[in-house]
Amino acid sequence: MDNKKKKVRILLAKPGLDGHFRGALVLMKGLRDAGFEVIYTGMRQTPESIASAAVQEDVDVVGLSSLSGSHNTHFPRVVELLSKKGMPDVLVIGGGIIPDKDILFLKKRGISECFGPGTSIKSITEFINRNVRTEK
């Protein structure tokens, strides 16, 4: 019997036309350093490609990053597609430039938390560890 704890698998994606990727790369490295397994899809992904990758990679968490203002369209669509694909329990988090007024909107549509610029990696990893569901 293997007593090793299963690593939490995280898919990081940048939906829409956002061309800013440095923050996602920093987050990817920080999450890996914290012991998570991280898959980065790259920039300019569609919600459909993100949800498909999440299913294919059998992830526990989907992290979405947007600096282009498309978060209210793309983030909820990813949640909707994950549910349709049989993954309603995946923890979906968002990050980037998200106005406070949009955070409540996103949370009502299935985004568990939104992290803005300057959020520490430690805060994000603690949130994930408290809220992820790894039983499948």
Beta strands in 37-90 (DSSP E): 37-40, 61-66
The confidence score (pLDDT) of residue 93 equals 97
The confidence score (pLDDT) of residue 37 equals 96
Q: Per-residue confidence at 134, pLDDT binned at 50, 70, 90?
A: confident
Helix then strand then coil, in percent of the chain rounded to 5, is 40, 20, 40
Q: Per-residue confidence at 2, pLDDT binned at 50, 70, 90?
A: very low
Write down the domain spans for the chain: 9-131
Q: Per-residue confidence at 136, pLDDT binned at 50, 70, 90?
A: low
The confidence score (pLDDT) of residue 68 equals 75
135 pLDDT exceeds 80?
no
Distance CA(11)–CA(1), nearest Å, equals: 28
Query: What's the predicted TM-score (pTM) here?
Result: 0.90
The burial class, CB within 10 Å (0-12 / 13-18 / 19+), for 16 is: buried
Q: Looking at the domain 9-131, which fold is it?
A: Rossmann fold (3.40.50)
